[in-house]
């Protein structure tokens, strides 16, 4: 009795052949435990593995390049790439602009994630972490009257909290959201320079104080207050833009 032929790895996948190859290669990366910098099999080997032509393999690999999963150079085998939030940032950038509620929803998502992150950070912050965060806070104080510089210092402050929390997946999502919201965060201060810039600084100082005290609940409360103020500023920005368009 002859043995049945082993089914192609793409046999049970869905979509076009290129989609199936992309799914199969992604699965291969996971199953073989390939790390950033590791090489994938050559196109010919992949074509044989998935029972497809080389052009289909190239199309499938191109999808993975677009997702930021691999790097591919002409004349060389593709390699696994270190994951970043860039594909997510592209998605959020479009979502914020396409959907009238996109901006508000992105900020709400960022709020939920950052309120969680700051509680985690409060539980595991080291003295060195607090020292680095204090420097970020100092940058906020120095730039509190400078709109563009403040936006950079604000990103630095929140990024340091994320570093303390040590969650790479959350980090990629938040970095993507923040990247997509960059123009909005900068625009809020450009359109509506805060009448009391010290109050903006103080809200960040409250977050720092709670983290320094390793108090998760106080850190959550301080971050929540920070986002309440942001929502108010975004509302004013939205009304201004609507008035300008009228």
Position 100 confidence tier, pLDDT thresholds 50, 70, 90: confident
**Cα–Cα distance measured from residue 223 to residue 143, given in angstroms and rounded to the nearest whole number:** 20
Contact predicate 237/191, CB 8 Å: yes
Same domain, 62 and 181: no
Higher pLDDT, 15 or 3: 15
Q: Has residue 1 been placed in a domain?
A: no
Q: Has residue 6 been placed in a domain?
A: no
Q: Has residue 5 been placed in a domain?
A: no
Q: Has residue 122 been placed in a domain?
A: yes
Q: Has residue 191 been placed in a domain?
A: yes
Position 105 confidence tier, pLDDT thresholds 50, 70, 90: confident
Same domain, 35 and 150: no
Average pLDDT score over residue span 76-85: 89
Same domain, 236 and 165: yes
Average pLDDT score over residue span 118-129: 98
Last residue of some domain: 80, 100, 131?
80
Last residue of some domain: 80, 101, 124?
80
Lowest mean pLDDT among 131-135, 169-173, 195-199, 238-242: 238-242
Catalogue the long-range contacts made by 197-206 (C-beta closer than 8 Å, 24 or more residues apart): 197/144, 197/145, 197/150, 198/144, 199/229, 200/144, 200/150, 200/229, 201/140, 201/141, 201/144, 203/229, 204/137, 204/140, 204/154, 204/157, 205/137
Domain that holds residue 26: 17-80
Average pLDDT score over residue span 71-99: 86
Same domain, 128 and 207: yes
Task: Indicate the number of domains in the chain.
Answer: 2
Q: Has residue 130 been placed in a domain?
A: yes
Q: What is the pLDDT of residue 75?
A: 81
Q: What is the pLDDT of residue 85?
A: 82
Average pLDDT score over residue span 148-162: 92
**Domain CATH number, residue 235:** 1.20.120.530
Position 1 confidence tier, pLDDT thresholds 50, 70, 90: very low
- Reported as type and span, the H/E element at residue 71 is strand 70-71
What residues does 39 pair with on adjacent strands?
79
Same domain, 75 and 124: no
pTM score: 0.72
Same domain, 181 and 98: yes
Mean pLDDT, the chain, as a whole number?
A: 86
Position 38 confidence tier, pLDDT thresholds 50, 70, 90: very high
Last residue of some domain: 80, 112, 128?
80
Same domain, 71 and 91: no
Average pLDDT score over residue span 184-200: 69
Q: Has residue 9 been placed in a domain?
A: no
Higher pLDDT, 165 or 240: 165
Residues with Cβ < 8 Å from 39, sequence gap 6 or more? 77, 78, 79
Q: What is the pLDDT of residue 94?
A: 86
Average pLDDT score over residue span 161-180: 91
């Amino acid at each position: 009795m002859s043995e049945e032929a082993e089914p192609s790895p793409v046999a049970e996948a869905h979509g076009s052949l290129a989609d199936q190859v992309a799914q199969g290669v992604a699965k291969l990366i996971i199953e073989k435990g390939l790390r950033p910098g590791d090489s994938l099999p050559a196109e010919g080997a992949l074509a044989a593995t998935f029972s497809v032509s080389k052009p289909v393999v190239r199309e499938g690999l191109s999808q993975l390049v677009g997702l930021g999963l691999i790097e591919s150079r002409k004349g060389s085998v593709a390699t696994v790439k270190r994951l970043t939030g860039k594909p997510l940032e592209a998605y959020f950038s479009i979502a914020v602009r396409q959907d009238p509620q996109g901006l508000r929803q992105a900020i709400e998502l960022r709020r939920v994630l950052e309120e969680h992150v700051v509680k985690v950070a409060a539980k595991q912050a080291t003295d060195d972490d607090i020292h680095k965060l204090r420097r970020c806070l100092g940058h906020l104080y120095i730039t509190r009257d400078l709109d563009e510089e403040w936006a950079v210092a604000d990103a630095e402050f929140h990024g340091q909290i994320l570093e303390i929390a040590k969650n790479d997946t959350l980090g990629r999502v938040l970095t993507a959201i923040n990247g997509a919201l960059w123009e909005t965060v900068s625009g809020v201060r450009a359109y509506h320079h805060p009448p009391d810039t010290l109050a903006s600084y103080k809200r960040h100082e409250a977050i720092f104080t709670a983290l320094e005290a390793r108090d998760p609940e106080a850190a959550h409360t301080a971050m929540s207050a920070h986002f309440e103020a942001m929502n108010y500023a975004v509302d004013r920005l939205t009304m201004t833009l609507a008035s300008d368009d009228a």
